[in-house]
Amino acid sequence: MEHNNLSWKDFTLPELKTFKNKRVIVRVDWNMPVVDGKITDTSRFDVTVPFLKDLSFSGAKIIILSHLGDKGESLGVIASHITKILPFISFESSLEFEDISKKISTVKEGDGVLLENVRMWKGETENIPSLGRSFASLGDIFINDAFSVSHREHASVIGIPKSLLSYFGPTFIRELENLSVALHPEKPALMIIGGAKISTKLNLIEKYLNQGVKVFVGGAMVHNIWKSKGIEVGKSLYDDNYTLSNTFINHPLLMTPVDVILSNGNRVAFHAIPKDGVVVDCGSDTVKLVSEEISKAKTVILNGPLGLYEKGWLSGSEQILTNLSLSEAKTYIGGGDTVSVAHSLHLLKKFTFVSLGGGAMLDFLASGTLPGIDAVTK
């Protein structure tokens, strides 16, 4: 097999016992919501626990890298939870590589160190090569188990594999196996996509429309479609530096809401939004329409909220997720807000696959790869 033909399937983990006494760097995504010092949703951590226990059992020396928050808050706030569940891990708060190397040299087989938030190092988000090399110098092997950050070209994601033998971890592989099926869904298929910015999702929507998949666009993204058609959207949120082509907005497989809820609680038809109106959710006729499409589909992919989620307009998303959970179709959901709503409704076990990557899921479905995948396979 030529080197450039290697796929992610060639980078699954070997027998873990081959890592005995090796320093293994594991990039995880423990970027969890913290409110008043308490983690409110531990799912991103929980899914990594069995693998880290197995790695410890195999006698590896584990070095864990993660980020937290956009600004780079200290991982100290979540470290106590982690070290309680994984007592073989200790937290190292120093940002000096000399201190960290010393600490790692004292780690015994089966034990591990959680390093401080990678975003506290200058050069992480810019992927400065020297930082990638400094991280790599701490270990013998690199395992990327953070699918949900692998759409980002950061030093801890794409810099480290340049210097070390690298593999994908089990949660990463699970995402790839499932989302690879969703890349070419069994038809009839439906994609339900919400959220605010259409510019980041346009390639994805077009790709699925061209495959013969119906795409329902909800959330604030639809306001751009309506505006391009000359339909009044009032004072609703939209992406004002973006115009859409006629072939796109008139595509026969593109679906948009037929009625909406305004911020004053009124329900109106989509073409009757008043000049001072603000759209905050999809209406009951739209929920019925989307639910009928779900009942006809063999595959449904859903990502992003269908209403102004952060202001509590959840009804449309909740009803559609509930109906989707009863479907016989193959169902794939993702996106932080979507997963939180499904979690609060106790529906997570009812879907074929729940992706922990929001942006990463969308980017992978749009292009079939991610920077973090290419960094390992190339």
Q: 174-205: per-residue pLDDT in tens?
A: 999 999 999 999 999 999 999 888 888 999 99
Residue type, 98: E
The secondary structure element, H or E, covering residue 330 is strand 330-334
Distance CA 256, CA 282 (A): 10
Q: Which residue has the tokens 């529906």?
A: 347
At 5 the pLDDT is 58
Q: Which residue has the tokens 């939004």?
A: 273
Strands 254-255 and 214-217: parallel
The Cβ of residue 123 has, within 10 Å, a number of other Cβ atoms equal to 16
Q: Rounded to an integer, what is the distance from CA 94 to the centroid of its chain?
A: 29
Distance CA 24, CA 18 (A): 11
**Which stretches in the chain have pLDDT values below 70?**
1-5
Contact 323, 296 (CB under 8 A): no
Contact 51, 169 (CB under 8 A): yes
Sheet holding 279-282: strands in order across? 267-269, 259-262, 279-282
Distance CA 104, CA 139 (A): 9
Q: Rounded to an integer, what is the distance from CA 267 to the centroid of its chain?
A: 32
Q: Which residue has the tokens 């929507």?
A: 205
Strands 353-354 and 330-334: parallel
Signed CA dihedral, 263, 316, 308, 260: sign only? negative
Distance CA 93, CA 76 (A): 8
pTM check: above 0.85: yes
The Cβ of residue 260 has, within 10 Å, a number of other Cβ atoms equal to 31
Contact 223, 238 (CB under 8 A): yes
Concatenating the DSSP letter of every residue in 45-62 gives HHTTHHHHHHHHHTT-EE
Token digits for 279? Answer: 């759209």
CA angle 232, 233, 237 (to 5 degrees): 155
Contact 339, 354 (CB under 8 A): yes
At 121 the pLDDT is 96
Strands (E), 4-60: 23-27, 34-35, 38-39
Token digits for 339? Answer: 């997963």
Nearest to 113 by CA among 131, 92, 93: 92
At 3 the pLDDT is 41
The domains found in the chain, sorted by start residue, are 3-174 (3.40.50.1260), 184-366 (3.40.50.1260)
